[in-house]
């Protein structure tokens, strides 16, 4: 039974060598991408409506409170999904892993509620305590959901997972918008997130069935906690990098500046999650299948490295127009989406978008190194990058919010160099080959940027309304980029678009 669940239904008989081409990857991840697209549209819609209701200072306070909740959620999730996804061993121990997730969720939910009680009783911060208490209720369902997510991905049931998340995002959006209209203030955002998480958990249980609970045995407890410790440590470093800017800016420059910075981060994060989460999910699936291919035909070379030679150029091809395009049109986007009060965030969006593009290759590090059995190597490199990032934030915070954002670009450049080194040394990926495969994309990117800049100047001279100028720039940039990529593929050759096909079927 374990073998059946570990192998996606409809898989063809293994052949020597692992190779795939981009259409099969896109088809495999289409549902995951659709769910993430709906998620980001829903979250952006909620954020945009909230920006017209809340002041920058109120939003800055919400960012501070949510940072505490996200930290506790990250600890409670514990890497349970990744342990299930990485091998058949996770499927064989689902009831024990579910029990661990339940205990973890209850523990950290209690910590959050206790912190809220201290705010209420000791510091008489009633409003803040109520917000943290509501946030804490999100922790338990989130911890349980992560196990079900791991099962759905491991079994290749991406369509069902996507449908559940799409429904949950829709319900969460309705609740959040209703709350904002009804005057719930920042509580509406927390309520929407909590309801969304409950819908995901309920849908996952309906799709898979109740996993059951069992007391973890000693060996299982040791294996899971050893793996979980590595995942949590890496996630903790990412958390520090993600939220230290908001916390430092708020501490040095005030809640309003923190609101601008967090708003810019949130806009860029929407694109990052839209690209990064499907990329990580596909990385887990593709690299795990490549490892199986290698185990069955060890004389066939290194299929994991060959899979990386396809996945990384594809990731760059998707990330480049998204992040760089956002950087170009950030002024117009912020003006349309958030209004005049948020214009100081526009420059920050452009800078942070460029930073996130530099970080895009790191999306694949966790699945690649986990499949290689070298996940431990990720921790010291991630710690170094986090120290550089946080150090630059602390160093530059007193010089203004723009200086902080520029410092994060420098930190991202250092992180890119260390990620490439890590993926080559411990992941076996040939980045020289990836660079050669991706070099022609520079032509497509340059053509896209030139078109967007030119049309922006034309729109300005014609005094078009911002929404029309934005639509023209986005449409023209997308058309020019896709046309350039197709022409380069047809006439100049993009090697990673011409690899022989091997389907990664999704039976759902």
pLDDT of amino acid 20 = 43
Question: What's the pLDDT tens digit per position in 377-386?
Answer: 888 888 888 8
**For residue 29, what are its two tokens?**
């991840």
Q: Judge whether 134 and 165 are in contact, CB under 8 Å.
A: no
Q: Which residues of the chain have pLDDT under 70?
A: 1-29, 87-91, 246-247, 250-251, 253-255, 300, 491-508
Per the structure, the count of domains in the chain is 2
**For residue 443, what are its two tokens?**
């032509």
Q: Judge whether 382 and 421 are in contact, CB under 8 Å.
A: no
Q: H/E/C letters for each residue in 157-178?
A: CHHHHHHHHHHHHHHHHHHHHH
pLDDT of amino acid 236 = 81
pLDDT of amino acid 171 = 95
Q: Judge whether 138 and 197 are in contact, CB under 8 Å.
A: yes
Q: Let me know whether 208 and 67 are in one domain.
A: yes
**For residue 257, what are its two tokens?**
């500046």
In a domain, residue 440? The reply is: no
Point out the domain boundary residue: 390, 412, 434: 412
pLDDT of amino acid 39 = 82
pLDDT of amino acid 90 = 59
pLDDT of amino acid 485 = 86
pLDDT of amino acid 197 = 94
Q: Let me know whether 274 and 145 are in one domain.
A: no
pLDDT of amino acid 127 = 80
**For residue 15, what are its two tokens?**
């052949």
Question: What's the pLDDT tens digit per position in 41-92?
Answer: 888 788 888 888 887 777 777 777 787 888 889 888 888 888 887 766 656 7
pLDDT of amino acid 94 = 86
Domain range for 294 is 238-412
* DSSP category for residue 54: S
Q: Rounded distance, CA 405 to CA 392, Å?
A: 10
Taking Cα atoms as reference points, which of 222, 193, 257, 224 lies closest to residue 393? 257
Q: Let me know whether 261 and 398 are in one domain.
A: yes
Contacts 24+ apart (CB under 8 A), 394-402: 394/248, 397/248, 397/249, 397/251, 397/252, 397/253, 398/252, 400/253, 401/249, 401/253, 401/257, 401/260, 401/261, 401/344, 401/348, 402/347, 402/348, 402/351
Q: Let me know whether 269 and 408 are in one domain.
A: yes
Q: Let me know whether 60 and 153 are in one domain.
A: yes
In a domain, residue 479? The reply is: no
Q: Which residue has the tokens 């230290």?
A: 244
Q: Residue 229: CB partners within 8 Å, gap ≥ 6? A: none
Taking Cα atoms as reference points, which of 75, 150, 83 lies closest to residue 106? 75
């Amino acid at each position: 039974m374990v073998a059946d669940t570990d192998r996606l239904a409809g898989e063809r008989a293994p052949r020597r060598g692992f190779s795939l081409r981009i259409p099969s990857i896109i088809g495999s991840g289409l549902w995951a991408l659709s769910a993430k697209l709906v998620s980001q549209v829903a979250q952006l819609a909620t954020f945009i409506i909230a920006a017209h209701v809340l002041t920058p200072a109120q939003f800055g306070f919400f960012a501070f409170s949510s940072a505490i909740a996200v930290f506790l959620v990250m600890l409670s999730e514990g890497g349970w999904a990744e342990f299930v996804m990485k091998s058949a061993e996770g499927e064989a121990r689902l009831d024990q892993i579910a029990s661990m997730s339940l205990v973890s969720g209850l523990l950290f939910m209690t910590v959050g509620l206790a912190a809220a009680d201290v705010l209420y009783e000791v510091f008489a911060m009633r409003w803040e305590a109520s917000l943290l208490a509501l946030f804490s209720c999100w922790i338990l369902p989130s911890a349980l959901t992560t196990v079900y997510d791991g099962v759905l991905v491991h079994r290749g049931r991406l369509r069902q997972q996507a449908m559940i998340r799409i429904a949950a995002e829709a319900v969460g959006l309705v609740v959040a918008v209703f709350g904002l209209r009804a005057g719930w203030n920042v509580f509406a955002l927390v309520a929407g997130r909590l309801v969304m998480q409950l819908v995901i958990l309920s849908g996952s249980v309906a799709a898979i069935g109740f996993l059951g609970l069992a007391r973890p045995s000693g060996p299982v407890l040791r294996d899971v906690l050893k793996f979980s410790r590595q995942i949590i440590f890496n996630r903790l470093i990412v958390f520090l990098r993600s939220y230290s800017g908001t916390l430092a800016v708020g501490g040095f420059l005030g809640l309003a500046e923190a609101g601008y910075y967090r708003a810019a981060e949130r806009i860029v994060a929407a694109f990052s999650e839209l690209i990064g989460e499907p990329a990580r999910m596909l990385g887990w699936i593709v690299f795990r299948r490549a490892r199986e291919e290698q185990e069955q035909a060890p004389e066939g070379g290194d299929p994991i490295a060959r899979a990386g030679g396809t996945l990384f150029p594809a990731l760059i091809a998707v990330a480049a127009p998204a992040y760089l395009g956002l950087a170009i049109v950030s002024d117009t986007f912020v003006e349309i989406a958030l209004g005049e009060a948020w214009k100081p965030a526009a420059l920050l969006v452009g800078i942070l978008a460029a930073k996130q593009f530099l970080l895009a290759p790191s999306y694949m590090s966790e699945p690649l190194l986990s499949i290689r059995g070298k996940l431990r190597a990720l921790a010291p490199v991630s710690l170094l990058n986090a120290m550089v990032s946080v150090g630059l934030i602390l160093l530059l915070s007193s010089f203004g919010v723009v200086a902080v954002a520029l410092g994060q670009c420098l930190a991202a450049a250092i992180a890119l160099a260390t990620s490439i080194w890590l993926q080559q040394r411990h992941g076996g990926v040939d980045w020289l080959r990836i660079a050669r495969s991706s070099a022609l994309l520079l032509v497509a990117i340059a053509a896209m940027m030139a078109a967007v800049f030119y049309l922006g100047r034309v729109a300005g001279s014609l005094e078009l309304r911002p929404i029309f100028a934005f639509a023209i720039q986005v449409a023209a940039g997308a058309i020019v980029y896709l046309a350039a990529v197709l022409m380069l593929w047809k006439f100049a050759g993009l090697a990673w678009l011409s690899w022989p096909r091997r389907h990664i079927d999704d039976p759902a």
